[in-house]
Structure 1
Amino acid sequence: MSKKRSAIIASLFLAALFVSVVLFRHFSGNENQRFEAYTKELFRQEVAGSTISLHYTLKNPKSYGIEQAPITFGYCTTDTTAICASAENAIALLHSFDRNRLSKKNRLTYDILENYMVSARALAPYGLYEEPLAPLTGTQAQLPVLLSEYQFYSQSDIDTYLELLTKTPEYFHSILEFEQAKSASGLFMASYSADAIIAECQAFIDMGDQNYLYSSFEERLANAELPDEAKKSYIETNSEHIKNYIFPAYAELKEGLTALRETGKNNNGLCHLPDGRKFYELTVASETGSSRTIPELQQLTQGQMFKDLTDMQKILSPTAEGASVSSDLFKTQGTLLENPDPTAILNDLQDKLTDNFPKPPKVNTEIKYVQKSMEEYLSPAFYMIPAIDNPADNVIYINQGHLPDDLSLFTTLAHEGYPGHLYQTTYYASRKPDLIRNLLNYGGYVEGWATYSEMMSYYYAPVSKEQATLMQKNTSVILGLYALADMGIHYEGWTLLDAVSFFRSYGITDTDTIEKIYDLIIADPANYLKYYIGYVEFLEMKKEALEAWGDDFSQKKFHKAVLDIGPAPFDLVREYALKK
């Protein structure tokens, strides 16, 4: 489950770097030893800044020298001056190492850290432009899932979890204070975005005793080796904490957003805000990992869409005129698979890796389903990234409310499972990367690879090559339209009417659907771009590899090269992977 990189999170990361200056000023040893000690300490400081981050990253923190970490969700900060100062100090510290004396592996880590820090420094002055709350991807949507999957490896984990629940009100209060600061600066979200989050908070509260935070706790507790009386006591405490801390936190957030909903001064794209276009450019660069300008990304998108539409037209009709999306292909496909069981699909997809991908590590994968009452508010599916020291246990959530047929399930499991997120994550973990690499979020690489995998999976499905091509190209074009709309809305200033006109020019005429897309793009700028631009960047790299390697090119060699590098900006992936 990838998280959006933001200046809010980056501020904590950069603050940790600033503290590290004292620790390494007098460290002795060669440059590689110094650098590795620096990244190891940086990892420890950063991962310990949030209990959720620590627990999801490490099963056994003590094995990594982390003991008695504070129990906290972290906080949202509005102090952009401090963020900027931390950023400058972080970069200065990194530059104190002599890159030329580092090993190839350490140079890669250095280069990625430098890119990450420079990006964070550029975004730092725009801290209040960030948004921790958004439909589908915001804190209010992700936190309950993260809590429900918080594993109990020991009794102390149970105690920590229950204490963490008591911290929810203060965490949500810091988010609300952040939103109030945004409002005071004229940067509060669109009223309809606030309405969507308010409705989501209310839906979560309305679940009452049926909320999955009750049932998931009991399920996790069932495996603990504890006396029945102790389990009963823990269940009672969990129930009290949900009622006394979780629900009130959501209620306060809902009430606070209700009070602020009319204070937003902009119901359209970021470019309508002061310096909004610049902030969008920086956000796109950060989210996608692409160094291309917005006009270049628009041109790249249009070029790929033209190719996809041309390929579709060749199959549909040699004499077809114009360019439009085949809406029939996006309707429910019915039943196509002999065995639509998700585990069977995953196994089938894994078997298809043999010829074109490096061998995957052996892991266990559990399929879970989103609670029906929350289907409307969560993504179609998501993969829970396992702890670094426990990569064998993996979980994929499926949202049945967003998967109308078994082909959709098949391609979604390719995105989340094989050869998508699960494979990408566990394969990279098997390479034993520098620990700090696990904390650097490059959404374009991660989601781009998963989208690339999803597109390939159409050709693994039990359909004809022509049908697979049509459906894959159609899906690619749809994503391309979302990407162009994202850039049109936030960079060029499209209104809803502009968006309706744009989509209708491609044969999409359902105004309600277009309005929903518009609202999602407004609430979460550049989110669609990390999927589509990331995907197209992988396609472009494959073309470059084919040209550079000639007869030595193979699918397996290309996939291994880019997967071995791991999450990084695409310029660095090119530099390090295509030299092979």
Structure 2
Amino acid sequence: MLQNKKRSLRKRSIFLGLSVFAAALIFISCLLTSDSRRFQALTEDLFYSELSGNMLSLHYTLAYPEKYGFTGEALLSSYKPASEEDDGTAGIRSALNRLSKISSDHLNEDDSYAYELLNRYLTLRLSGSSYDYYDEPLSPSSGMQSGLPILLADYTFRSPKDVEDYLHILDQTDTYFDGLIQYEKEKAEHGLFMSDSAAADVIEQCCSIMDKDALSCGTHFLHTTFEERLNVLEQEGAISQEQKAQWISENDRLLTTVMAPAYEKVADAFTILQGSGLNDKGLCYFPEGRSYYEYLLASATGSSRSIPEIKELLFNDFRDNFASLAALLNQYPQLTTAFTYNDTVFPYVTPEEMLDDLKSRMVSDFPPFPDSDQSGRINYTIKSVSSSMEDYCSPAYYLTPPIDDMSSNIIYINHKNSPDALTLYTTLAHEGYPGHLYQTVYSQLYMNQNNTSCIRYLLHYGGYVEGWALYVENLSYQYAGKVVSDPLTAAWYEACRLNRNIQLCLYSMLDIAIHYEGATLPKAQAILRKAGITDPRTASAIYDYIVEEPVNYLKYYLGFLEFLSLKDAAQDLWGHEFSLTRFHQFILETGPSDFQGLNDKLRLQSG
């Protein structure tokens, strides 16, 4: 009996232990569920608040916003001066406060990663909020005076409501630019307005973009693209001919009575503000310019490296590429003497032929799209930049599709300076396959499949996006070398790749020299002369562009170098199991991130 009693007690103690363990599991489960719910609520609130106040952002993010609960009026957000009660950081501080009450340890792997990204993203944004008037929304090179017409010209009409929303946006362009004028006036009051030459460029752009002759004749690209989109709706039976005519008339009225006067008002305001700019050199000549540059560098590139680390990385890369180019030219001396590149050697002429070739050659290095049902419906259209916008657009660019409709993708080619075959081929690799188009569609399909937190779609990382595009552009030079049979031509392609990297690396180092170390135009010209750029006008144009667009070259080139560094780390961690396809799949399935996040996740998954 005594023995049986002991057994009974033992059984009870074991049962009690299991009960406690089960209760602990239930408690932990409640914590997990509670924190998961709070994180989901926070991210959905941020997603909604970010998009509901700006119809352009909403339209380019969601094809069918009503399915996500967006049913409000079409608004075009405009600048409003900060009040004493709200310095513009209240939303960020509130989000960080809510985030601090959630434990990332209680979230699933994907949400935990999103949590860390969001925490760093908001913290960095908060640190940048003290530089109220250092941003430049009307930059001559990338300002909204040139960006807005591009977004309007490609505003997709999927339904009659989209047309109505578009016209509402046009009707608000005067208020939108009034806000930017107010901001520029406040910049001037704080001694932070742009240089006279930059202001003159903006004035010229405002006059030429909204060309009066084209507007009066109805031949402006915002006339023609509007009618083209309406024609599609009419052919689909979504609108009548009468409705189309009515909307064309309304578009004409808004362009001439609202949008054109808004541009004139910007030009007038900048004419008055000319002369108030106190600095035509780098950011470091502004009161808080160096610290702002550090913030901007981290924000634009997604790199957490210090400036001395970045300089060392750039210098080593410049040296290695220069040595590789010298060795190549030593191996093929014809490239520096009698060799003449013959563009007709390249067998592909049209962008479509080149993209088809790139798609076939990338198969051995990149994974297929994750969603086979969707991937068969992915298509693209090649369009030409309007002649009136050629002076203000990049050589090419890709328009990101909405996350709920990735079937239609658009790549624009700027034909102002017709590129040679190799340049067009590598440019299409950058913008299309395996560049922006492939990267964007793959990551969004994967995130959609896995119900990734909606906040991931709003966190933008320029270094991830442009660094990837430059990384695959480098691979495309190798693909181009396989297109041709002549070893000397293939060597020429490799020389072009190395030369391009040397140039971009040089401009990236010059960016730091100008904005952080105070290099003036004569100093920049001296640096460029040592690199073989001896024409003073060319050197001056490079200097002016870097002054107007701080960190832009670094967004591309530092991002590219971060990916090379990440690939080296993956090779060390994976050893003989490393492959380009596995590495690329890891990047694409992790999705847009800062490089700290990518490095942390690589080591976590390889541990």
- With structure 2 as the length reference, what TM-score do the two structures score? 0.87
- What is the aligned partner in structure 2 of residue 87 from structure 1? 92
Matched ranges for 1:385-464 at <5 A: 385-431=400-446, 432=448, 433-461=452-480, 462-463=483-484, 464=487
- What is the aligned partner in structure 1 of residue 330 from structure 2? 317
Provide the rounded CA distance (Å) in 2 between the counterparts of 1:284 and 1:555: 29
Matched ranges for 1:336-415 at <5 A: 336-360=345-369, 361-362=375-376, 363-415=378-430
1:69-122 C-alpha deviation (Å, 9 max, x unpaired)? x32221224428622343322211111111110111001100110111011011
1:468-497 C-alpha deviation (Å, 9 max, x unpaired)? 321111111110011011111100111111
Asked if the contact 2:223/2:251 (under 8 Å) is kept, the reply is yes
Provide the rounded CA distance (Å) in 2 between the counterparts of 1:476 and 1:97: 44
My pick for the range that moved more, 38-47 or 213-222, is: 38-47
Equivalent AA in structure 1 for residue 50 of structure 2 = E
Equivalent AA in structure 1 for residue 69 of structure 2 = G
Equivalent AA in structure 2 for residue 271 of structure 1 = C
Provide the rounded CA distance (Å) in 2 between the counterparts of 1:557 and 1:236: 54
Asked if the contact 2:42/2:98 (under 8 Å) is kept, the reply is no
My pick for the range that moved more, 122-131 or 311-320, is: 311-320
Equivalent AA in structure 2 for residue 79 of structure 1 = A
- What is the aligned partner in structure 1 of residue 132 from structure 2? 127
- What is the aligned partner in structure 1 of residue 291 from structure 2? 278
- What is the aligned partner in structure 2 of residue 306 from structure 1? 319
My pick for the range that moved more, 127-136 or 80-89, is: 80-89
Asked if the contact 1:380/1:403 (under 8 Å) is kept, the reply is no
Identical columns (%): 38
My pick for the range that moved more, 372-381 or 398-407, is: 398-407
- What is the aligned partner in structure 1 of residue 12 from structure 2? none
Matched, 1:171 2:176: yes
Number of equivalenced pairs: 548
Asked if the contact 2:146/2:209 (under 8 Å) is kept, the reply is no
- Measured after TM superposition, the shift of residue 287 of structure 1 is 0.5
Work out which of the residue numbers 522, 527, 531 in structure 1 matches 2:552: 527
Provide the rounded CA distance (Å) in 2 between the counterparts of 1:314 and 1:241: 60
- What is the aligned partner in structure 1 of residue 503 from structure 2? 478
Matched, 1:190 2:215: no
Matched, 1:255 2:268: yes
Q: Partner of 1:126: helix, strand, or coil?
A: coil
Work out which of the residue numbers 596, 602, 605 in structure 2 matches 1:571: 596
Asked if the contact 1:420/1:450 (under 8 Å) is kept, the reply is yes
Provide the rounded CA distance (Å) in 1 between the counterparts of 2:379 and 2:285: 48
Matched, 1:542 2:567: yes
Provide the rounded CA distance (Å) in 1 between the counterparts of 2:491 and 2:595: 31
Equivalent AA in structure 2 for residue 348 of structure 1 = D
Work out which of the residue numbers 477, 499, 508 in structure 1 matches 2:524: 499
Provide the rounded CA distance (Å) in 1 between the counterparts of 2:103 and 2:558: 33
Provide the rounded CA distance (Å) in 1 between the counterparts of 2:79 and 2:421: 41
Q: Partner of 2:412: helix, strand, or coil?
A: strand
1:133-162 C-alpha deviation (Å, 9 max, x unpaired)? 123321111110100111111111111111
Provide the rounded CA distance (Å) in 1 between the counterparts of 2:268 and 2:308: 41
Provide the rounded CA distance (Å) in 2 between the counterparts of 1:504 and 1:84: 45
Asked if the contact 1:152/1:221 (under 8 Å) is kept, the reply is yes
Provide the rounded CA distance (Å) in 2 between the counterparts of 1:438 and 1:403: 35
Equivalent AA in structure 2 for residue 172 of structure 1 = F
- Measured after TM superposition, the shift of residue 332 of structure 1 is 8.3
- What is the aligned partner in structure 2 of residue 74 from structure 1? 77
Matched, 1:219 2:234: no
Work out which of the residue numbers 492, 514, 520 in structure 2 matches 1:467: 492
Equivalent AA in structure 1 for residue 502 of structure 2 = V
Work out which of the residue numbers 553, 556, 560 in structure 1 matches 2:578: 553
- What is the aligned partner in structure 2 of residue 14 from structure 1? none
Provide the rounded CA distance (Å) in 2 between the counterparts of 1:365 and 1:337: 23
Q: Partner of 1:444: helix, strand, or coil?
A: helix
- What is the aligned partner in structure 2 of residue 103 from structure 1? 108
Q: Partner of 1:366: helix, strand, or coil?
A: strand
- Measured after TM superposition, the shift of residue 210 of structure 1 is 2.8
Structure 2: give runs of 5+ residues left out of the alignment.
1-30, 370-374
Provide the rounded CA distance (Å) in 1 between the counterparts of 2:247 and 2:332: 69
Equivalent AA in structure 2 for residue 531 of structure 1 = Y
Provide the rounded CA distance (Å) in 2 between the counterparts of 1:340 and 1:115: 45
Residues 333/66 of structure 1: CA separation in 2 closer, same or farther (3 Å cut):
farther
Q: Partner of 1:354: helix, strand, or coil?
A: helix
Asked if the contact 1:349/1:414 (under 8 Å) is kept, the reply is yes
Provide the rounded CA distance (Å) in 1 between the counterparts of 2:347 and 2:145: 38
Equivalent AA in structure 1 for residue 535 of structure 2 = D
Structure 1: give runs of 5+ residues left out of the alignment.
1-26, 321-325
- What is the aligned partner in structure 2 of residue 142 from structure 1? 147
- Measured after TM superposition, the shift of residue 349 of structure 1 is 0.9
My pick for the range that moved more, 178-187 or 568-577, is: 568-577
Asked if the contact 1:28/1:34 (under 8 Å) is kept, the reply is no
The two structures, once aligned, show a CA RMSD in angstroms of: 2.1
Provide the rounded CA distance (Å) in 1 between the counterparts of 2:509 and 2:521: 14
